[in-house]
Amino acid sequence: MEEHLTEQLFNDVKKDAKDLANMLPKGDKVAGRILIEALPILFQEIELSRQRNESLRDALEFYADMSLWDRAYIDGGSSDSVAAEDGGETARLALRGM
Protein backbone atom coordinates (compact mmCIF):
# COMPACT_ATOMS: atom_id res chain seq x y z
CA MET A 1 0.00 0.00 0.00
CA GLU A 2 2.84 2.41 0.84
CA GLU A 3 4.35 1.81 -2.60
CA HIS A 4 1.04 2.73 -4.25
CA LEU A 5 0.86 5.93 -2.18
CA THR A 6 4.47 6.78 -3.05
CA GLU A 7 3.76 6.26 -6.74
CA GLN A 8 0.59 8.36 -6.52
CA LEU A 9 2.49 11.11 -4.70
CA PHE A 10 5.23 10.98 -7.34
CA ASN A 11 2.68 11.38 -10.15
CA ASP A 12 0.95 14.25 -8.34
CA VAL A 13 4.22 16.08 -7.69
CA LYS A 14 5.38 15.48 -11.27
CA LYS A 15 2.13 16.96 -12.60
CA ASP A 16 2.49 19.97 -10.28
CA ALA A 17 6.12 20.42 -11.37
CA LYS A 18 5.09 20.35 -15.03
CA ASP A 19 2.35 22.90 -14.35
CA LEU A 20 4.87 25.10 -12.55
CA ALA A 21 7.39 24.71 -15.37
CA ASN A 22 4.74 25.78 -17.90
CA MET A 23 4.04 28.93 -15.89
CA LEU A 24 7.70 30.00 -15.94
CA PRO A 25 8.91 32.57 -18.47
CA LYS A 26 10.52 31.02 -21.55
CA GLY A 27 14.05 31.66 -20.29
CA ASP A 28 13.34 29.78 -17.05
CA LYS A 29 11.89 26.66 -18.68
CA VAL A 30 15.28 24.95 -18.29
CA ALA A 31 14.90 25.19 -14.51
CA GLY A 32 11.49 23.54 -14.76
CA ARG A 33 12.85 20.70 -16.88
CA ILE A 34 15.71 20.15 -14.42
CA LEU A 35 13.19 19.98 -11.59
CA ILE A 36 11.09 17.41 -13.46
CA GLU A 37 14.18 15.32 -14.28
CA ALA A 38 15.29 15.38 -10.63
CA LEU A 39 11.98 14.03 -9.32
CA PRO A 40 12.75 10.32 -9.90
CA ILE A 41 15.99 10.68 -7.93
CA LEU A 42 14.16 12.38 -5.08
CA PHE A 43 11.52 9.68 -4.94
CA GLN A 44 14.16 6.95 -5.14
CA GLU A 45 15.75 8.45 -2.02
CA ILE A 46 12.34 8.59 -0.34
CA GLU A 47 11.82 4.89 -1.13
CA LEU A 48 15.25 3.96 0.28
CA SER A 49 14.46 5.93 3.41
CA ARG A 50 11.11 4.14 3.73
CA GLN A 51 12.85 0.77 3.45
CA ARG A 52 15.43 1.73 6.10
CA ASN A 53 12.66 2.91 8.41
CA GLU A 54 10.77 -0.35 7.85
CA SER A 55 13.88 -2.35 8.75
CA LEU A 56 14.38 -0.29 11.88
CA ARG A 57 10.71 -0.64 12.86
CA ASP A 58 10.97 -4.42 12.47
CA ALA A 59 14.05 -4.57 14.69
CA LEU A 60 12.52 -2.30 17.32
CA GLU A 61 9.28 -4.27 17.28
CA PHE A 62 11.20 -7.52 17.80
CA TYR A 63 13.26 -6.21 20.72
CA ALA A 64 10.37 -4.30 22.29
CA ASP A 65 8.52 -7.59 22.78
CA MET A 66 10.63 -9.52 25.28
CA SER A 67 8.68 -12.69 24.61
CA LEU A 68 9.98 -12.75 21.03
CA TRP A 69 13.70 -12.40 21.70
CA ASP A 70 13.48 -14.21 25.02
CA ARG A 71 12.08 -17.25 23.23
CA ALA A 72 14.62 -16.93 20.41
CA TYR A 73 17.67 -16.60 22.67
CA ILE A 74 17.07 -17.69 26.24
CA ASP A 75 15.08 -20.82 25.42
CA GLY A 76 17.78 -21.68 22.91
CA GLY A 77 20.31 -21.91 25.73
CA SER A 78 21.80 -18.43 25.39
CA SER A 79 22.27 -16.10 28.31
CA ASP A 80 20.66 -12.69 28.83
CA SER A 81 23.97 -11.02 27.95
CA VAL A 82 24.18 -12.84 24.59
CA ALA A 83 20.60 -11.82 23.80
CA ALA A 84 21.33 -8.20 24.70
CA GLU A 85 24.57 -8.19 22.67
CA ASP A 86 22.84 -9.66 19.61
CA GLY A 87 19.95 -7.24 20.07
CA GLY A 88 22.34 -4.30 20.12
CA GLU A 89 24.05 -5.52 16.95
CA THR A 90 20.71 -6.00 15.21
CA ALA A 91 19.66 -2.47 16.19
CA ARG A 92 22.98 -1.04 14.94
CA LEU A 93 22.58 -2.84 11.61
CA ALA A 94 19.01 -1.56 11.29
CA LEU A 95 20.16 1.99 12.01
CA ARG A 96 22.78 1.69 9.27
CA GLY A 97 20.11 0.39 6.89
CA MET A 98 21.68 -3.00 6.37
Q: Judge whether 19 and 4 are in contact, CB under 8 Å.
A: no
Count of domains forming the chain:
1
5-9, 24-28, 45-49, 93-97: which is most confident: 45-49
Counting DSSP H helices and E strands in the chain, the numbers are 4, 0
CA distances from 79 to 5, 46, 60, 70 (A): 43, 39, 20, 10
| pLDDT value at residue 15 | 81
The Cα 8–Cα 35 span in angstroms is: 18
| Domain span holding position 86 | 2-95
Tens of pLDDT, residue by residue over 38-89, are 888 888 888 888 887 887 787 777 777 766 666 656 555 555 556 566 666 6
Question: Is-contact 40 22, C-beta < 8 A?
Answer: no
Of 10 and 96, more confident: 10
pLDDT of residue 22: 76
